[in-house]
Amino acid sequence: MTDSISNDIVPTLMPLGDAGMLVKFSNVLSDMANRRAIGFSRLAEAKKLPGVVEVVPNLVSVLLRYDPIEISFSRLAGEVRMALQNQPDALAVEGGRHEIAVVFGGESGPDLNEVAKLLDLEPEAFVEAHNSAPLRVIATGFAPGFVYCGMHEAELVVPRRAQVRRIVPAGSVLFAAGQTAIAATDIPTGWHVIGRTDFRNFDPGVMPPTRLRAGDTIVFAAAEGIL
Amino acid sequence: MTHGIEITRAGPLVSIQDHGRPGLLAHGISASGPMDRQGYFAAGCACGSADAAIEFGVLGFDFTYHGAAETIVGFSGGKFLLAINGKRVAWPGSATLEDGDRVTISMGAQGNYGYVRFDRSIEVRTLMGSKATNITAGLGGFEGRPLAKGDFISFSQDRVSKARGEGATEPSQPDCDSIRFIWGIHAHVFAPGTQATFCEADFTISSQIDRMGIRLIDKTRVFAGQQVLSLVSDAVVPGDIQILGDGTPVVLMRDHQPTGGYPRIGTVIDADMDRLAQQRPGATIKFQPIRVEVAQRLVRVGGV
């Protein structure tokens, strides 16, 4: 039942320049559109669509970069439509499972108490609720090795901070908009910093340089309790 | 004896570049690579090198060559002034360098980016398949950063193999003044009439240009006061014309951020990217829409 509904999402195919196609499943972020996008990206990689040189899953879309000498936009659009029609199960995203140990609060997570307060929870209760359910990597690509994980239940949604921090260190675990993100490099952010992990999803010395893929399952665990 | 060049003066935006590292957007890394690919290729053809180049900005840079053997330097891109030991050499072109030769490159009549390449390989680590510097991510090239006075760039002892199939030897002349683009993934989110005014308007290249992007001055206020609802972010490609919250148009270039949440009205076609990159601050440009089918036909016949 769920599958038939999901397959009713007919994506829009749009040029992104003269060597890119955006396959867009929705204008707004939803769990279904995200699964469809990730599912299609895996399919596109497995199928090796003609002329396609790069498959980039986004939150609700997939960018296909292709060689316009090998295939035109309209021919590729035909290939994509055919692949989507034959997609056996749009939502069966098989991904790796990763446990990420996080030190919550204290110097590692200066915004933990504020986030807990916003949600009317004790910090310990927030951490427990945060870690209770596995999350999915819903998008990558914002910065090297950066991942967005979601989606949290509606009870755990807080807005971003009013102030952007100019820099937070690699390993920062960020929280906002019903998602938890992990920074693999030093970045600026307007999200709440709730903890830090030793896990680094970026090593420029190896190929591929990151380990987490969109669709993977993430289980967060408290490393040393709350500081 | 040490072999290579010592940077004795560096203007802004001097960095090591090669073909770049396409294919890593999902990992959060844009492809980098030369801002003016034709200039880059021409410099390679001039010295017979397929190895990395040093790309430099409008103010150029100076270096001294150190090595027991002679080396050939090729240079192209824009119009710069180049002198060896104070003696002017015609641009673009090539020259043979001997130990202690001082090369000075300064601002010339045209362009923002020039290239020097050598018949030696530049000895920096190949990272994810490329020696290119990605300024946004701070990786690749020389310590992941632009070159500065005092840096020493080491060369291989052996000469590199000849450049093969590396494109035109002469930078081709543009056959039109406007910058051609394909309507973007958010072209429809702007106020009615915006598409028409966007194509009629003159835009000025601002002084805020770098490898990440070119900020434009929207003199006729095409985008002023436009409220666009928040968008879900998508991957970015070079040439995307994004409109910031205050209405400023920015064309994203080789070291672009990998994803973007600002509305994109269009994407500059690949064939016009080099020419756009070389437009100096103060220059006026117009955008001309082109259908993707037409742009791709141009690619296939090899025209610009």
Q: Do A72 and B259 touch (CB under 8 A)?
A: no
| From A27, A65, A141, residue closest to B259, measured CB to CB | A141
Q: Locate the chain B residue with the closest alpha carbon to A214.
A: B26
Question: Rounded to an integer, what distance in angstroms lies between the CA atom of residue A152 and that of residue A124?
Answer: 17
Please tell me the predicted confidence (pLDDT) of residue A224: 73
Chain A with chain B: Cβ pairs closer than 8 A: 136
Query: What's the token pair of residue A190?
Result: 């307007």
Q: Are residues A107 and A86 part of one domain?
A: no
Please identify, among A70, A91, A112, the residue that sits at the C-terminal boundary of a domain. A91
Q: Is A77 on the interface with B (CB under 8 A)?
A: no
Please tell me the predicted confidence (pLDDT) of residue B145: 97
Residues of B with CB under 8 A from a CB of A: 22-29, 127-129, 137, 139-140, 182-185, 231-235, 237-240, 257-259, 267-271, 292-293, 295-296, 299-300
Q: Are residues A164 and A178 part of one domain?
A: yes
Give how far Cα B223 sits from Cα of B125, B190, B207, Å: 44, 8, 19
Domain containing residue A105: 97-222
Is B179-300 assigned to CATH 2.40.100.10? yes
Q: Do A65 and B296 touch (CB under 8 A)?
A: no
pLDDT over 80 (residue A143): yes
> Across chain A, what does the average pLDDT equal?
92
* pLDDT, average across residues A97-114: 96
Which CATH number belongs to the domain containing residue A50 in this structure? 3.30.1360.40
Q: Could you give the angle at the alpha carbon of A212 between the alpha carbons of A222 and A141, nearest 5°? A: 110
pLDDT tens by residue, B68-107: 999 999 999 999 999 999 999 999 999 999 999 999 999 9
Most B CBs within 10 A among A13, A14, A16, hence the mutation to make, goes to A16
Listed in sequence order, the residues at least 6 apart from B218 whose beta carbon sits closer than 8 Å to its beta carbon are B201, B203, B224, B247, B248, B249
Percentage, residues of chain B above pLDDT 90: 87
Residue B70 CB neighbour total at 10 angstroms: 12
Q: Locate the chain B residue with the closest alpha carbon to A58.
A: B234
B81 membership: H or E segment, kind and range? strand B79-84
Q: Are residues A184 and A77 part of one domain?
A: no
* pLDDT, average across residues A168-172: 97
Residue A120 CB neighbour total at 10 angstroms: 9
Judge whether A1 lies within some domain: no
pLDDT over 80 (residue B167): no
**How many domains is chain A built from?**
2
> Across chain B, what does the average pLDDT equal?
93
- Give the domain ranges of chain B: 4-159, 179-300
pLDDT over 80 (residue A6): no
pLDDT over 70 (residue B164): no
Q: Do A17 and B299 touch (CB under 8 A)?
A: no
pLDDT tens by residue, B205-258: 999 999 999 999 999 999 998 888 789 999 999 999 999 999 999 999 999 999
